[in-house]
Amino acid sequence: MASEKTHTDEQTHFRTCNLCEAMCGIVIKHDGKKVFSIKGDKDDPFSKGYICPKATALQDLHEDSDRLRHPVERTANGWKEISWPEALDKVAAGIQSVQKKHGQNAFGVYLGNPNVHNLGGMLTIKHLLTSIKTRSRFSATSIDQLPHHIVSMHLFGHMLRIPVPDVNRTQYMLIIGGNPLASNGSIMTAPNMRQKLKDIKARDGKVVVIDPRRTETADIASEHHFIRPATDVLLLLAMLNEIYLQGYADKARAKNNRAAALAPEIERLADFARDYSAESVAEITGIAAKEIKRLVKEFCEAESSVCYGRMGRLGKSLAY
Ligand code: SF4
């Protein structure tokens, strides 16, 4: 484990933990072979010294006796160590032979978090996948954030135009079905969410959680509303309807009609949501109509507000 004493040949590396998208800055002390300590980098502008236990556990990964340190090949006599060029040639030949025999898409690729949050991976994986020409690509994205991409494509014209909550400047944070204390602020790159949410409350803002479960985030929120599972789409439609009914859409349009330029079809939302009054969804969602109306009023009147959701929520994060 970490040691405070200075070692001969000790070097310090400043790196980014790539285990999740919070991307915390870390300071690694080592001698080229052994890691002496992994700590949060206080000078990192994002994480300011914060890390979660996973970053310190990188040392355990590094030292794990079962960790694969060289390519190996299965032979009749067990595993045999081979060189990287040999391994790469064998993998390339294997891919070619599978695709030749069973078609391009017979070769599947799965990408995990550390690939996606690694600069080298980000620069090279796309080219590798393009040249392999397979549609069988899988990652956590499939169940985690594709709704973000689809909503952004339809609303804003590109799948990567995802509204990202600016937590440091948010006064009203409505979290629907998200638990950023556990996920470390997924799709926000916002390390130390506990402190960030506490800061919102400390500057007289509000954190409201809507979740069927009393999550870690709900525990420190200003308010938590239980919702019947799988009814959040009805709540969102009723809230949208209320935004129009209470005149906030008109006010926003009069102030700045940028939304219409970014999302030309936005006005269709009003028609779509019209049938979903707060009263009509109250019983099924378990949230009283007067509470839904109050939440909309507070959300729209706050100096800066954001609605954040995860795991397939229809609304995902829509900045007002
Ligand atoms: S929150 Fe934890 S796992 Fe995620 S980047 Fe920071 S230290 Fe790594």
pLDDT at 26 over 80: yes
Q: Which of 200-204, 265-269, 314-318 has the lowest mean pLDDT?
A: 314-318
111 and 142 in contact (C-beta within 8 Å)?
A: no
pLDDT at 5: 62
The residue whose CA is least distant from atom 4 of ligand 1 is 20
Question: What mean pLDDT is predicted for residues 53-69?
Answer: 92
- Which atom of ligand 1 lies nearest, measured to the CA of 55? 7
- Look at residue 297 and tell me whether its pLDDT is greater than 70: yes
CA distances from 12 to 2, 16, 32, 302, 307 (A): 13, 13, 10, 45, 40
At 146-167, the pLDDT tens digits run: 888 888 888 888 988 888 899 9
Instruction: Note the pTM of the prediction, 2 decimals.
Output: 0.80
3-class secondary-structure state, position 109: strand
- Across all residues in the chain, what is the average pLDDT? 89
Ligand 1: residue whose CA is nearest its atom 6: 24
State yes or no: pLDDT of 84 exceeds 80: yes
Domains of the chain plus CATH, in order, are 11-63 (3.30.200.210), 102-144 (no CATH), 163-319 (3.40.228.10)
Q: What is the pLDDT of residue 211?
A: 95
Q: What per-residue confidence (pLDDT) applies to 208?
A: 98
| pLDDT for position 242 | 97
* Helix or strand (DSSP H, E) at 319: strand 318-319
Per-residue pLDDT tens over the stretch 121-154 = 889 988 998 999 999 988 877 777 788 888 888 8
Taking alpha carbons only, the member of 307, 56, 288, 23 closest to residue 172 is: 307
Q: Check whether 312 has a pLDDT greater than 50.
A: no
Q: What angle do CA 149, 151, 152 make, to 5 degrees?
A: 65
Q: How far is the CA of 17 from the centre of ligand 1 (A)?
A: 6
210-241 pLDDT per residue, tens: 999 999 999 999 999 999 998 999 999 999 99
> Could you give phi then psi for residue 10, rounded to 5 degrees?
-70, 135
Determine which residue's CA is closest to atom 2 belonging to ligand 1. 52
CA dihedral 71, 73, 74, 79 (to 10 degrees): -60
Q: Is the pLDDT of residue 313 over 70?
A: no
Q: What are phi and psi of 156, to 5 degrees?
A: -115, 0
**Is the CB of 38 inside a 6 Å radius of any atom of ligand 1?**
no
Q: Is the dihedral of CA 162, 163, 169, 170 positive or negative?
A: negative
For residue 259, the one-letter residue type is: A
Q: Do the Cβ atoms of 272 and 241 come closer than 8 Å?
A: no
Q: CA nearest 174: which of 229, 128, 217, 116?
A: 217
